[in-house]
A and B are shown apart, each in its own frame.
Chain A
């Protein structure tokens, strides 16, 4: 065995390397610190504070969490609301992603190249109006005496009146309408990145159009689909507006009438002066988001290994 003197040898630096290169990380680092790390750390930290005489006092106490988890599935029903929110978020993300993928596919493959930008712009047009405005218009469409039911009545189908407003389905509709434009852009870009030659090659090797889709386009869209779905889950989990305006704050569900978890955090914030408790509630949501994402990625990775 020969030992090499490593202490004396410096790592080789290519002439193209510059010690200043590290500074190009600065914009990313600043962005992450100011808009992500600091607020997050602050939130996590406050979750351990306690309240004394209606004043938040810095501390390291697990009291808030103990309080929350003590009644997690009983009185406060935070647990049930969280499960329901997860369920709504996952199903919303599922439908929103599939819907957006179909729109993105048709823009990328059915629209002539020079009209694609315009088609994309039109497809994401809903994004130009405000979210709250969109939710209110859905209210007028879905409500008991709203557009849909009026039309049904006109045709003498009053018996078939639908009761969508203030249900989880309405919550999902609002969320999907909100999410779709963003997902369409994400998915369109990821489809655009697929080399068309590969589709030709697949067809040339004997693929039907459908096989070219399942064997080449779909696997190569996987990353885009994962990104879109994760984005949709996170946004849906954190959203309280659609649940409040369309879900009626307590959308009917299999579990009963329950507000979404995000909406519970909101009301907790406005009805009590217990900011540390609210922070603890929010922290729980963040942990669930991270876990949901991790589970999603593991599942997608397993699926890929199995198919290839």
Chain B
């Protein structure tokens, strides 16, 4: 490194790949994480999230690619000297130490002042709500309590980058929301970058500055939560994020910021600034809450004949399951209850402005 200016990035991954024998668990990942940024990683089970975190932590060596932490190539930095800290998916707590001993572990490895360590451990235990359990053995803790010990043990060492592997998955909803708030506050306060793996979309979308969606070892999309939600870029993301309806079709006509797509159940209009050429296979993506019952007695675009198949009541809203004429299943969420019986035909509608196009359907 010749430049004296500090890197604007806490973390830089350049086509990081990891092969286990012939199986590629992580497939040329490129990712830049800004100073103190909160990046959430989502993806189905087995898509390589934990493997990626292990590579960042130095527990696994990438088969190829480069990894920079704060501008420094860390390929040769052994695990114990990395400025990252991992919160383990399955806790990995030390059974021979009590709660306090586990939290203090990282602080006691170098010459240390016992009083300072005790103070830090106590403050951290207060933060995660473990003060009453300091003398407990690990085997006597609940899953959620273990998870908080794991979190505290990593956090108390104040690393540059915290790697969290589903850190709140075992907590009840109430505690989870409180811990989310605390984590976000700590992260802001310490200016620590967070790489946060979670299966919980709400968690990812409400906490993160940017969300990464992974699939089969590669990155499908990196975006701010709102953009990821509103404009999924691939079929996978559209199906994975939010509650979207996907209609496969082919571009039939383009013009005036609009594209007409021929789908199995009929023609659909979509507003777009950058329409793919005529004949391209696409998916029309419509979020479930953008579908509405069609106003009666008015002609218009994007009216879909459908049959009601079921209703789920989710407290604040209702989720309707409908079949289109060609059998395509669609989901529609509405705040109100419709006067509709099961298996009754109806017409639903969406605005062209609320639909998006994704290339790729056959």
Binding site for B on A (CB under 8 A): 195, 197-198, 200-208, 211, 215-216, 219-220, 222, 308
B105 close to chain A: CB less than 8 A: yes
A197-B94 contact, Cβ under 8 Å, with A203-B80, A204-B59: no
Asked if A204 contacts B101 (CB within 8 A), the reply is no
Asked if B109 contacts A205 (CB within 8 A), the reply is yes
A203 to B57, CA, bound (A): 10
Which residues of chain B come closer than 8 Å to A208, judged between CB atoms?
80
A200 to B80, CA, bound (A): 10
Q: CB-CB contacts of B76-107 with A at 8 A, as 1s and 0s?
A: 00011100011010101111111001000110
Asked if A205 contacts B105 (CB within 8 A), the reply is yes
List the 6 shortest-distance A-B pairs measured between CB atoms, nearest first. Answer: A201-B92, A205-B106, A219-B96, A197-B92, A206-B109, A203-B79
Asked if B94 contacts A204 (CB within 8 A), the reply is no
Asked if B92 contacts A200 (CB within 8 A), the reply is yes
A278 to B211, CA, bound (A): 81
User: Could you list 11 A-B pairs, sorted by A, with CB under 8 Å?
Assistant: A198-B95, A201-B88, A202-B94, A204-B58, A204-B80, A204-B86, A206-B80, A211-B109, A215-B105, A222-B96, A308-B101
Which residues of chain A come closer than 8 Å to B153, judged between CB atoms?
205
A308-B92 contact, Cβ under 8 Å, with A208-B80, A215-B105: no
Which residues of chain A come closer than 8 Å to B90, judged between CB atoms?
197
Asked if A207 contacts B80 (CB within 8 A), the reply is yes
Partner of B57 from A202, A204, A219, A308 at Cβ < 8 Å: A204
A211 to B110, CA, bound (A): 10
Seed contacts A198-B94, A200-B92, A204-B58; 18 additional CB < 8 Å A-B pairs: A197-B90, A198-B95, A200-B59, A201-B93, A204-B79, A204-B85, A205-B109, A205-B157, A206-B80, A206-B109, A206-B157, A207-B80, A207-B109, A208-B80, A211-B109, A215-B109, A219-B96, A220-B96
A204 to B88, CA, bound (A): 10
- Minimal beta-carbon separation of B57 from chain A (angstroms): 6
A203 to B157, CA, bound (A): 14
- Minimal beta-carbon separation of A258 from chain B (angstroms): 42
Asked if B88 contacts A220 (CB within 8 A), the reply is no
Q: CB-CB contacts of B48-62 with A at 8 A, as 1s and 0s?
A: 000000000111000
A197 to B95, CA, bound (A): 12
Partner of A308 from B80, B96, B109 at Cβ < 8 Å: B96
A219 to B105, CA, bound (A): 14
A132 to B228, CA, bound (A): 77
Which residues of chain B come closer than 8 Å to A211, judged between CB atoms?
109
Which residues of chain B come closer than 8 Å to A207, judged between CB atoms?
80, 109
Asked if A198 contacts B106 (CB within 8 A), the reply is no
**Consensus secondary structure, chain A interface:** helix
A198 to B153, CA, bound (A): 13
Asked if B98 contacts A308 (CB within 8 A), the reply is yes
Residue of A nearest to B90 (CB): A197
- Minimal beta-carbon separation of A224 from chain B (angstroms): 13
Which residues of chain B come closer than 8 Å to A203, judged between CB atoms?
59, 79-80
The range of chain B's interface size is 20 to 34
Which residues of chain A come closer than 8 Å to B154, judged between CB atoms?
205
Asked if A206 contacts B94 (CB within 8 A), the reply is no
Which residues of chain B come closer than 8 Å to A215, judged between CB atoms?
105, 109
A278 to B157, CA, bound (A): 64
Residue of A nearest to B79 (CB): A203
Which residues of chain B come closer than 8 Å to A216, judged between CB atoms?
94, 96
Which residues of chain B come closer than 8 Å to A220, judged between CB atoms?
95-96
A207 to B106, CA, bound (A): 8
A195 to B139, CA, bound (A): 14
Residue of A nearest to B96 (CB): A219
Residue of A nearest to B154 (CB): A205
Which residues of chain B come closer than 8 Å to A205, judged between CB atoms?
80, 85, 105-106, 109, 153-154, 157
A200 to B92, CA, bound (A): 9
Which residues of chain B come closer than 8 Å to A204, judged between CB atoms?
57-59, 79-80, 85-86
Which residues of chain A come closer than 8 Å to B95, judged between CB atoms?
198, 220
A220 to B94, CA, bound (A): 9
- Minimal beta-carbon separation of A200 from chain B (angstroms): 6
Chain B, 246-262, CB within 8 A of any chain A CB: none
- Minimal beta-carbon separation of A2 from chain B (angstroms): 31
- Minimal beta-carbon separation of A272 from chain B (angstroms): 51
- Minimal beta-carbon separation of B96 from chain A (angstroms): 5
Chain B, 191-229, CB within 8 A of any chain A CB: none
A114 to B109, CA, bound (A): 33
- Minimal beta-carbon separation of A203 from chain B (angstroms): 5
- Minimal beta-carbon separation of A261 from chain B (angstroms): 37
- Minimal beta-carbon separation of B166 from chain A (angstroms): 15
- Minimal beta-carbon separation of B148 from chain A (angstroms): 16
Q: CB-CB contacts of B109-124 with A at 8 A, as 1s and 0s?
A: 1100000000000000
Which residues of chain B come closer than 8 Å to A219, judged between CB atoms?
96
- Minimal beta-carbon separation of B153 from chain A (angstroms): 7
Q: Which of B90, B97, B109 has the most CB of A within 10 A?
A: B109
- Minimal beta-carbon separation of B163 from chain A (angstroms): 9
Which residues of chain B come closer than 8 Å to A202, judged between CB atoms?
94, 105
Q: CB-CB contacts of B15-41 with A at 8 A, as 1s and 0s?
A: 000000000000000000000000000
Residue of B nearest to A304 (CB): B96
A197 to B150, CA, bound (A): 13
A205 to B93, CA, bound (A): 11
Partner of B97 from A195, A200, A308 at Cβ < 8 Å: A308
Residue of A nearest to B59 (CB): A200
A220 to B93, CA, bound (A): 13
- Minimal beta-carbon separation of A47 from chain B (angstroms): 42
Residue of A nearest to B100 (CB): A308
A206 to B93, CA, bound (A): 15
